[in-house]
């Protein structure tokens, strides 16, 4: 039996089950009510500067916290036809950044094509990389490919110590991740004066909010350099969203109501004004349009009368669309907010 909720036949594999759980939360006021109190409801997009493409749920890892419920047994993958629709839509805009995520996005057969096409259009490309994918035999040339195309690597590394990282991501993952980081550094990624950008993403291992970004970044910088000779550009902290496998963990460990209360008590109007859905459009593996990767996993597509599929893309209609929100959004508005645009492989 695999680790995904789907393979375990866990009821929480269903998005509607998750939404009904989130809707019945006693630990916090409804999110929309809290936003209204802060004068922020309804929430509208301010434009699109990030075109996020989720190419599917297939991954070589099965991390405990995964908000995608990704894993090796997942078969959802974006086809070339849908990838072509994404590039067609992008070509009609001047959206500067393409953010490719999954699953392990690099394992989609169309990943390299998408990167090359976006680069031909002159767009900055980000790859949400789990690092261990760089160690897979058929991906031996992946790091060179990313460097050649000047792809920004946004790499998940929950912690700078093996025990905490392996507890969340699986046995031996920390060591392989460090090898991946060293490989990227050898190509110039994260090095001073290099234009190859390597950013790390840290998320808490348990049911608590992340530490202050500056403090944890300097710890990561010091420890990774000292023990492994690894350098990087920036470290982003993200709050674990109460959806999918992390939601299952919260419920199983009796932490669900307490965690929602913690998120709601940490509601920060400044973070709420800056949530990433306001400048992101997220495309699912089948081409459905969402406000963010989290809404995608909860099967909450764009609403309020705007196009819902990439084939009907219309920048004018989408730029200032109304955003679909629910109680999971408390994960984006707690404390300093999640600073990396949310989705991480
Ligand atoms: S979960 Fe998505 S829709 Fe909700 S606030 Fe965060 S980014 Fe916006």
- What whole-number distance in Å separates Cα of residue 26 and Cα of residue 260? 9
Task: Provide residues with CB under 6 Å of ligand 1.
Answer: 275-277, 291-292, 294-295, 323, 325, 328-329, 332, 342
Name residue 58's beta-bridge partners: 71
Exposure b/e, 19-43, CB count within 10 A at least 16 = b: bebbeebebbeebbebbeeeebeeb
Residue 342 clears pLDDT 70, i.e. is over it: no
| Greatest Cα pair distance in the chain | 54
From residue 316, alpha-carbon distances to 46, 49, 153, 306 in Å are 12, 13, 30, 10
DSSP conformation class of 43: -
pLDDT given for residue 344 in this prediction: 46
**pLDDT bracket for residue 1 (50, 70, 90):** very low
> What separation in Å is there between the alpha carbon of 260 and the centre of ligand 1?
15
CB hemisphere CA count around 223 (13 angstroms): 12
**pLDDT bracket for residue 278 (50, 70, 90):** very high
Q: Name the residue with the closest Cα to ligand 1, atom 1.
A: 329
Give the mean model confidence (pLDDT) for residues 145-151: 98
Tell which one of 278, 325, 338, 343 to mutate to probe ligand 1, the residue whose CB is within 8 A of the most ligand atoms.
325
pLDDT given for residue 2 in this prediction: 60
Tell which one of 342, 343, 344 to mutate to probe ligand 1, the residue whose CB is within 8 A of the most ligand atoms.
342
What's the whole-model pTM score?
0.95
Q: Three-state SS for 98?
A: strand
Average pLDDT along the chain? 94
């Amino acid at each position: 039996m695999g680790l995904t909720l789907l393979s375990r036949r866990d009821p929480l594999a269903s998005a509607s089950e998750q939404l009904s759980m989130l809707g019945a939360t006693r630990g916090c006021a409804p999110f929309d009510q809290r936003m209204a109190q802060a004068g922020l409801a309804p929430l509208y997009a301010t434009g699109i500067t990030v075109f996020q493409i989720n190419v599917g749920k297939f991954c070589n890892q099965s991390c405990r916290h995964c908000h995608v419920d990704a894993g090796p047994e997942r078969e959802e993958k974006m086809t070339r036809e849908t990838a072509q629709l994404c590039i067609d839509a992008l070509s009609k805009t001047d959206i500067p950044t393409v953010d490719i995520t999954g699953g392990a996005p690099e394992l989609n057969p169309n990943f390299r094509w998408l990167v090359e096409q976006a680069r031909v259009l002159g767009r900055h490309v980000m790859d949400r990389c789990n690092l261990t994918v760089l160690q897979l035999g058929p991906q031996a040339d992946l790091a060179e490919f990313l460097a050649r195309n000047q792809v920004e690597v946004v790499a998940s590394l929950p912690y700078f110590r093996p025990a905490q990282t392996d507890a969340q991501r699986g046995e031996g993952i920390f060591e392989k991740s460090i090898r991946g980081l060293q490989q990227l550094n050898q190509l110039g990624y994260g090095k001073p004066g290099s234009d190859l950008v390597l950013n790390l993403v840290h998320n808490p291992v348990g049911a608590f909010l992340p530490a202050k970004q500056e403090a944890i970044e300097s710890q990561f910088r010091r420890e990774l350099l000292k023990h492994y000779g690894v350098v990087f550009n920036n470290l982003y902290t993200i709050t674990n969203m109460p959806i999918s496998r992390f939601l299952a963990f919260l419920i199983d460990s009796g932490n669900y109501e307490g965690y929602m209360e913690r998120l709601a008590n940490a509601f920060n109007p400044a973070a709420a004004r800056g949530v990433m859905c306001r400048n992101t459009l997220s495309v699912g593996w089948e081409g459905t349009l969402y406000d963010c990767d989290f809404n995608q996993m909860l099967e909450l597509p764009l609403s309020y009368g705007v196009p819902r599929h990439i084939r009907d893309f219309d920048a004018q209609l989408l730029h200032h669309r109304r955003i679909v929100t629910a109680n999971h959004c408390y994960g984006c508005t707690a404390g300093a907010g999640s600073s990396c645009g949310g989705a991480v492989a």
